[in-house]
């Protein structure tokens, strides 16, 4: 999948002077970045197009015919930056260790910029994964700004895993899986319950059930997201692309283990974090953006901030708890090793593979998810 953005100067603009200052804090990558931007900044090549690619084939050159590689910079983290030149165009190609890549072309005409980019990216990306996988985006903040990478993850269809969850939550989960854009009523999804009950597995299945209308993105550093307005704005705006004529999809932002952000004392602990979360789901920031937020937490609903769970804000609030004794015994095929309080999904899998007993579950919450 590629994402393309376009910026341009009008060709009739006069050329502008450009000076570059370098010091010992700059790296060869910084030099390539500056050289790649200079034709655009001066107006010599006033048209620009950028493509962000995922799942780039290892053998793909990402170069058009006749392109000359004039600078190469490789870093310890696996990033490879190249400056490529051709007749009337310049291209910066950055390849990452995770098989993602960014290509930015500047050219003397819009048609040339489009054609160079199309030739460089043609057949460079592997086809989408099979039906038992779904594309999920992952956001994180780096020293050079925010990054998003899209990866295929395994995601079993809901009917195949519905039996892993307590019948008391079955109706709510069934309704959640069947949500469509027309039935969205509330922007926040709360999944609460002790570790090992299958909250993350549930979200992967949700991504599969909603794949036709909703892109799921997982924010790896939610504590940074709500403490950095610039990062929050970039994640909230997303990567919409109208050039391909496709209808804009909804997006679901997944925030795991966010107890401190939404518990009763969150305002005092996180400062503006809670306010920005509420603004994203039910305020000015969320207006005009088709964005949902899913939060998993170990906290009981009674311990959450009342502003988070107020009526109208949540699309759903579901307790994902252990299977009661009778349901756990039916799942396992025997009641041996299962205590009166039942067992979590993780404990049942452990018992099935010959692991430890679930007769006495520890009270300590580790924050880990199945």
The predicted-structure confidence for 35-83, as pLDDT tens digits, reads as follows: 999 999 999 999 999 998 888 999 999 999 999 999 999 988 888 999 9
The whole-number pLDDT of residue 113 equals: 96
Q: Where are the domains of the chain?
A: 2-121, 133-319
Cα–Cα dist 346/363, whole Å: 15
Which of the four CATH numbers 3.30.310, 3.30.70, 3.30.9, 3.30.56 does domain 2-121 have?
A: 3.30.310
Phi then psi for residue 109, to 5 deg, are -145, 155
Q: How many secondary structure helices (H) and strands (E) does the chain include?
A: 13, 13
**CB-CB contact of 284 with 324 (8 Å):** no
Cα–Cα dist 190/318, whole Å: 6
For 319, the token pair is 């307790």
What lies within 8 Å, CB to CB, of 138 at 6+ separation is 148, 149, 150, 151, 217, 218, 220
Cα–Cα dist 335/332, whole Å: 7
**CB-CB contact of 102 with 94 (8 Å):** yes
Task: Tell me the pLDDT tens digit for each residue of 10-48.
Answer: 444 445 566 778 788 788 999 999 999 999 999 999 999
| CATH number 1.10.10.10 given to 133-319 | no
Task: Tell me the pLDDT tens digit for each residue of 86-140.
Answer: 999 999 999 998 888 999 999 999 999 999 999 999 989 988 666 678 889 999 9
Note the helical H segments in the chain. 28-42, 110-121, 158-161, 167-177, 199-209, 222-225, 229-237, 259-262, 266-270, 273-282, 306-309, 325-332, 345-352
Query: Among 70-74, 201-205, 257-261, 325-329, which stretch is predicted with the lowest mean pLDDT?
Result: 257-261
In terms of Cα–Cα distance, which of 102, 122, 115 is closest to 54? 102
Name which residue leads in pLDDT, 286 or 282: 282
Q: How many CB atoms lie within 10 A of CB 125?
A: 18
* pTM metric for this prediction: 0.66
**CB-CB contact of 99 with 72 (8 Å):** no
- Alpha-carbon distances of 127 from 41, 62, 94, 113, rounded to whole Å: 36, 16, 21, 25
Cα–Cα dist 353/345, whole Å: 13
Per-residue pLDDT averaged across 330-334, rounded? 91
pLDDT-derived band of residue 156, with 50, 70 and 90 as boundaries?
Answer: confident
- Alpha-carbon distances of 92 from 63, 101, 130, 298, rounded to whole Å: 10, 10, 32, 45
pLDDT, the chain, mean? 82
């Amino acid at each position: 999948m590629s994402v393309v953005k376009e910026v341009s100067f009008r060709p009739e603009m006069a050329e502008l002077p450009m000076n570059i200052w370098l010091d010992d804090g700059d790296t060869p990558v910084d030099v390539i970045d500056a050289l790649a931007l200079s034709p655009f900044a001066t107006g010599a090549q006033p048209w620009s197009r950028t493509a962000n690619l995922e799942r780039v084939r290892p053998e793909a050159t990402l170069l058009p015919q006749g392109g000359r590689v004039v600078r190469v910079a490789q870093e310890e983290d696996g990033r490879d930056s190249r400056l490529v030149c051709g007749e009337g165009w310049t291209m910066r190609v950055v390849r990452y260790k995770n098989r993602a890549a960014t290509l930015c072309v500047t050219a003397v005409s819009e048609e040339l910029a489009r054609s160079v980019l199309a030739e460089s990216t043609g057949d460079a990306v592997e086809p989408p994964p099979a039906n038992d996988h779904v594309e999920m985006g992952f956001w994180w903040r780096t020293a050079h700004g925010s990054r998003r990478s899209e990866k295929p993850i395994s995601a079993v269809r809901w009917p195949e895993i519905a039996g892993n969850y307590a019948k008391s939550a079955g109706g709510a989960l069934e309704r959640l899986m069947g949500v469509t854009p027309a039935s969205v009523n509330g922007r926040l999804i709360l999944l609460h319950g002790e570790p090992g009950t299958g909250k993350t597995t549930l979200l992967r299945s949700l991504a599969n059930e909603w794949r036709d209308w909703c892109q799921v993105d997982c924010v790896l550093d939610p504590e940074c997201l709500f403490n950095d307005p610039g990062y929050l704005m970039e994640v909230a705006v997303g990567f919409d692309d109208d050039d391909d004529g496709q209808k804009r999809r909804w997006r679901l932002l997944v925030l795991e283990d966010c107890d401190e952000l939404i518990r009763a004392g969150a305002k005092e602990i996180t400062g503006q974090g809670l306010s920005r979360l509420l603004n994203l789901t039910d305020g000015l920031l969320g207006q005009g953006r088709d964005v949902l937020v899913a939060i998993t937490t170990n906290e009981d609903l009674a311990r959450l901030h009342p502003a988070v769970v107020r009526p109208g804000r949540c699309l759903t609030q579901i307790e994902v708890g252990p299977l009661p004794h009778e349901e756990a015994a039916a799942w396992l095929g025997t009641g041996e090793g299962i205590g009166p309080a039942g067992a979590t999904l993780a404990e049942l899998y452990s018992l099935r593979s010959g692991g430890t007993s679930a007769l006495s579950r520890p009270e300590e919450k580790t924050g880990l998810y199945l």
